[in-house]
Structure 1
Amino acid sequence: MKRTLLPEITALIRPPIDPSLQDQLIQLRRFIHVIQAWGPLFSKWYLGGDSKEEALRYEAFGEGEFKAAALAVLRATNRGKETACDIGLWNGQDGSQAAGLKYLMGGLRPWTVNLRPRVDPAITTSQVVSVVEQAASIWSPTLITAHPPAYMAKKVFRDRPGVGNMLYLPRAVTEREVPEAGALVPVIRERCHIGTIIISVVDQMFSDLLPEHVRLANSIEVRLVDQDLLPRYADL
């Protein structure tokens, strides 16, 4: 069996107003601060480029702030617009150690923040939860998914998100509503319960290669749909 893939984490966002580029960078810095706890592979982030050499010229963050040279490149590619349509970052690694982070303006679709790591078996479910919690706190998203890319072909409903490792919903969810869940983690911001992370497997990292993991995630999806808790993509 292949090594377990870290989940791809995607937050879907409908901001009430378009954030400024400065706000976007502050949000990304807060998000990356939690990702850096995953280990050295996630400690440095660079602007994307047409080649590896070009990308490595511009490290994104210094001592808590976006570096001036990288900011100048972003402003130039953004052509003077106040809000960036596409911010792409890369951890400077190749192959199975690579990770990418995208902040995309979706037009008529929701905005997305997408973290795509490759393989690192040292990461725990609780560390993934910390990143999902941070994304929920920063962006107040309509939904966050966390699962290996291959799980997209194994989820139950084509027109709805899947559960996989875990799913964040911006509402309270109880054990009575989803008894199949391995755990339900309330997300608190400024003493308010803003949402719930529904975790499928708690004792190990979820793998779409394990049929029992897939069956459990699928059963949670069916339960959520039966209670009208799992929205369609078209409604997000």
Structure 2
Amino acid sequence: MDISIKIDIELNDQLSLQTLMSTFSEMIAFTDLITNNKELVWYFCGDSLEEALNQPAFKDNYPTLFFEERQYIDIIEGIWSSENKALVIKGKISSLKYNLDFDLREIQSIAIDKIKDILCSYLKKFDVFCIRVDINDYEYKSRNVFPDRLPVGWMLYLNKKIMPEQVPMAAQLIHIDNEKNHGTLIISTDHVFDGENKDDIKKANEIEIQLAGLGLLPLIREIYS
């Protein structure tokens, strides 16, 4: 089972090294909760496996000197773990937006409540304009309805208030209303979504069609312009 989480954050100022390390550290803690493995060692990418293994980025949730020695201007390269079939975190700064992609591969079980709780905690800490959670390449393999609009997949957060009567087919709507964000986390299924399952794909498609018909599903260019 592959899980992909994309968290897009509005930056009020240029992303500092301290904020970047803190964000990565939180995502690593997220990985620990899902994999039940608190002993993963994280590395920067290199031209060879040998080179990469000599460049640890984090260990025991703390950044190493290799992290502080690197220069970050626009692109934040990925960090990865050698265990559990490549756990990857990568990010990119674009204008005043920070895009964080978080991929876990071949994870056998996922604690749904943990994921929801952690995403809600991020929505309290950061100015988030979009969150997408995808399982088994629903978006990557273009199983969504509208190629030019955001996919729903398993979970989609939008800075819009969406009511249950507007998308009654959604399994759950979590309303977010705090100092940072005012919107809704849409959850398509109450079980772990599978981007290869016909019923799950149908459910996500139905939500996308309903949201688009109500003018609530943004175009990708509207979100990332």
TM-score normalized by the length of structure 2? 0.85
2:100 counterpart residue number: 113
- The answer to whether the Cα contact below 8 Å between 1:11 and 1:135 also exists between their aligned partners in 2 is no
Two-structure CA RMSD over aligned residues (Å): 2.5
Q: CA deviation at 1:25?
A: 1.2
Asked whether the 8 Å contact 1:186–1:193 carries over to 2, the reply is no
User: Aligned residue for 1:28?
Assistant: 24
Q: Is the 8 A contact 1:35 1:131 kept in 2?
A: no
Deviations 1:16-62 (A, max 9, x none): 32111222112221232222211228843222222222222232224
Q: In the alignment, is residue 91 of structure 1 matched against residue 81 of structure 2?
A: yes
- Distance (whole Å) between structure 1 residues aligned to residue 82 and residue 188 of structure 2: 31
SS in 2 for 1:45: strand
Query: CA 1:42 to 1:198, structure 2 compared with 1: closer, same or farther past 3 Å?
Result: farther
> Are the counterparts in 1 of residues 152 and 208 from structure 2 also a CA contact under 8 Å?
yes
Q: 1:56 to 1:19 in 2, by over 3 A?
A: same
Q: Does the 8 Å contact 1:206/1:213 carry over to 2?
A: yes
Mean alpha-carbon deviation: is it higher for 42-51 or for 167-176? 42-51
Q: Compare the two structures and name the one with the higher strand fraction.
A: 2
Counterpart of 1:31 in structure 2: which amino acid? M
Query: How far apart in 2 are the matches of 1:87 and 1:183?
Result: 34
Q: What SS class does the counterpart of residue 150 from structure 1 fall into?
A: coil
Secondary structure, in 3 states, of the residue corresponding to 2:151? coil
Aligned length: 220
Aligned partner (choices 177, 202, 224) of residue 215 of structure 1: 202
Deviation of 1:125 (Å): 2.4
- Tell me the equivalent position of 1:44: 41
TM-score computed with the length of structure 1 as normaliser = 0.82
Deviations 1:64-117 (A, max 9, x none): 531123322x23xx3xxxx55213110223xx6211111112359x53100111
Query: Among residues 86, 111, 118, which one is paired with 1:124 in the alignment?
Result: 111
Name the CA distance, whole Å, in 2 between partners of 1:159 and 1:183. Answer: 25
Q: Which residue of 1 aligns with 2:13?
A: 17
Amino acid at match of 2:24: L
Unaligned runs of 5+ in 1: none
Residue 151 (structure 2) pairs with residue 154 (structure 1): no
| 3-state SS of paired residue (2:57) | coil
Letter of the 2:94 counterpart: G
After TM superposition, give the deviation of residue 209 of structure 1 in Å: 1.8
State the 4+ residue runs in structure 1 displaced beyond 6 angstroms: none
Distance 1:59 1:187 in 2: 36
Q: Which amino acid aligns with 1:32?
A: I
Structure 2: 5+ residue runs without aligned partners? Answer: none
Counterpart pick for 1:71 among 44, 68, 71: 68
> In structure 2, which of residues 3, 9, 17 is the aligned counterpart of residue 7 of structure 1?
3
